[in-house]
Amino acid sequence: MELLKNGGNIKSPDGNRMKDLLNLFRWQDALDILILTYIFYRLYLWLRKKKALRMVLAILALPLFYIFAQWIDLPLSVWGLQNLWPVIIIVLVVIFQQEIREVLGNISLPSFFFGRPEGLSSKIIDKIAEAVFQMAQRKMGGLIVLQRGDNLDELIREKTLLDAEINEDILISIFNSQSPLHDGAVIIQGGRIRYAAALLPLSKSTSLPKEWGTRHRAGIGITEVSDGECIIISEERGEVLLASKGKVEKKDGKEDLKENLADLTPMGDTKDKERTWPKKILEDIPIKVLFLLLVCLLWIFVIGIRQGEVSFNIPVEYYSIPQNLEIVGEPPKEVNARLKGSQRLLSSTKPDQIRVRIDLSNAHKGINQISLAEANITTRPGITITSFYPRNIRLQLSPISNSNKKP
């Protein structure tokens, strides 16, 4: 059997599947596998801290099972998934509609692909810390949300666009009780005050202290549904809290707050700067290897279902020869045919799985001209005949001589 690819010939005499796959492998496939592995790994990192990970695993389980069913030839399972796929998708969308909305609303492409959300400079951190503790000293309540990788626009409501630079006076004036913008949160994006008077989602936690009111629940709530951080200034107690990932920590002074903000924002993360590329590559190595193997399996499947053609020498079988007649000479023993189908199916096809069967029940003594048709060729399901040669076979039948007759 000879596999044809891009006008070239790749020999596959024994249907060796692994050898065929290696022959089909190009440098573009290696690049494709690495890109998909990186995207899947970034998706895993992005969803690891979110509730949506359960949704993604449920959705990915179905195509993975479909690939598995195709690979080991489970026709009933393949048929069921092919015909019920639209219904399954609708059911999954209904079940996970809230998670899907949060994922599409929060995703930030730079953060997703590069994992480096825009950070805050040390000067901006100083200004925020100064304003926060001045407000705490004056018993002014407030919420300051620091956006990191996730887009917060879909999570906050009734916001007022400011797009102002950050300084102590502006922050303090916003949260002044006489200001029309004081009732809500300030959202800091890209080193600027993007929104004010923003309403945040409330925390659904049942373990929060009873004395904490709406301000605390809102400050914690935004960190439960995003990777942002929120500075909470308590009006009653004049204390400063920093909420991150649904957890709250009290800050005792400006330096304490600035140290935490420097750790939370990439521009001040000295630990990240110390990480070299080799160290980054070796991080989460078991997870990365797992995704690499999964993408390789996906590549094998995609290559397997890709359509291809082979040139195949098919053995000829003659049957129902009339009694007292025999074939004289050397009849054609093979027919050369071009078969079309998935490359996985073609590469695994063996000579005994395809036959040319010629019925000689109507043959007569002498020269017989037999026209071949596709009906004479028995193939595997999923493989079609595009052409074959010869289309006519010339046979000579003669009476069986006495020496060849069975006693």
Residue 322 identity: P
Domain limits at 200?
Answer: 122-264
106: amino acid identity, one letter: N
Share of the chain above pLDDT 90, in %: 11
Residue, of 69 and 256, whose pLDDT is higher: 256
199 alpha carbon, distance to own chain's centre:
34
Is the backbone peptide bond immediately before 110 cis, with ω within 30 degrees of 0?
no
Strand 185-189 and strand 142-146: pairing?
parallel
Residue 10: its pLDDT value, please? 32
Position 263 scores a pLDDT of 66
Q: Are residues 11 and 142 in the same domain?
A: no
What does the pLDDT look like over 353-399, one tens digit per residue?
Answer: 888 888 888 888 889 988 888 888 888 777 888 888 888 888 888 88
**C-alpha dist (Å) from residue 183 to 26, 155, 197, 200, 201:** 60, 17, 6, 11, 14
Answer with the one of 236, 264, 292 that is the final residue of a domain: 264
Does residue 322 lie in a domain region?
Answer: yes
CB burial of residue 129 (10 Å; 0-12, 13-18, 19+): buried
Q: Do 259 and 126 belong to one domain?
A: yes
- If you average pLDDT over residues 11-39, what whole number do you get? 69
Considering the domain architecture, whether residues 152 and 232 belong to the same structural domain is answered as yes
Within-domain flag for 269: no
159 versus 56: the higher-pLDDT residue is: 159
Question: What's the CATH code of the domain at 158?
Answer: 3.40.1700.10
Let me know if residue 395 belongs to a domain.
yes
State pLDDT tens for residues 225-253: 888 899 999 888 889 999 988 889 988 88
214 plus 316 within the same structural domain: no
Question: 151-181, pLDDT tens digit by residue?
Answer: 787 788 888 888 888 888 999 999 988 888 8
Among 264, 294, 321, the domain boundary falls at 264
Please report, for the domain that includes residue 313, its CATH number: 2.170.120.30
> Domain for residue 271, yes or no?
no
Q: Tell me if 212 is assigned to some domain.
A: yes
What are the DSSP E strand ranges found in 224-306?
A: 229-233, 240-244, 247-251
- pLDDT at position 261 over 60: yes
CB-CB neighbours of 341 under 10 Å: 20
Residue 310 CA from chain centroid, whole number = 32
Answer yes or no: is pLDDT of 14 > 50.
Answer: no
pLDDT of 107: 58
Residues 258 and 361 occupy one common structural domain: no
245 belongs to a structural domain: yes
Would you state the pLDDT for residue 187? Answer: 92
Statement to judge: residues 88 and 208 lie in one domain: no
How many distinct structural domains can be found in the chain?
3
> Is residue 222 within 8 Å of residue 207, measured between CB atoms?
no
Give me the mean pLDDT over the 182-197 stretch. Answer: 88
pLDDT at 39: 83
With tokens 């304003």, the residue in question is 131
Do 291 and 206 reside in the same domain of the chain? no
Q: Which of 114, 96, 17 is nearest to 54 (CA)?
A: 96
| Mean predicted confidence (pLDDT) in 15-26 | 61
The answer on 127 and 254 residing in a single domain is yes
- pLDDT at position 402: 58
Do residue 26 and residue 82 come from a single domain? yes
How far apart CA 222 and CA 117 sit, in angstroms, is 17
Q: 96 or 40: which carries more pLDDT confidence? A: 40
Radius of gyration of the chain (CA): 36
Q: Is 148 inside a domain boundary?
A: yes
pLDDT class of 269 with cuts at 50, 70, 90: very low
66 and 149, same domain (yes or no): no
Q: Do 167 and 186 belong together in one domain?
A: yes
Indicate whether 272 belongs to any domain.
no
How many percent of the chain have pLDDT more than 70?
76
Which DSSP symbol is given to 345?
H
Q: What is the average pLDDT across 27-56?
A: 76
pLDDT tens column, 82-137: 777 778 778 777 876 766 666 665 555 555 555 555 557 788 888 999 999 999 99
226 and 329 inside one domain: no
Average pLDDT, the chain: 78
- Inter-residue long-range contacts of 93-96, CB under 8 Å, 24+ positions, other chains counted: 96/52, 96/55, 96/58, 96/59
pLDDT at 230: 93
Q: Which residues contact 121 (CB under 8 A, 6 or more apart)?
A: 191, 267
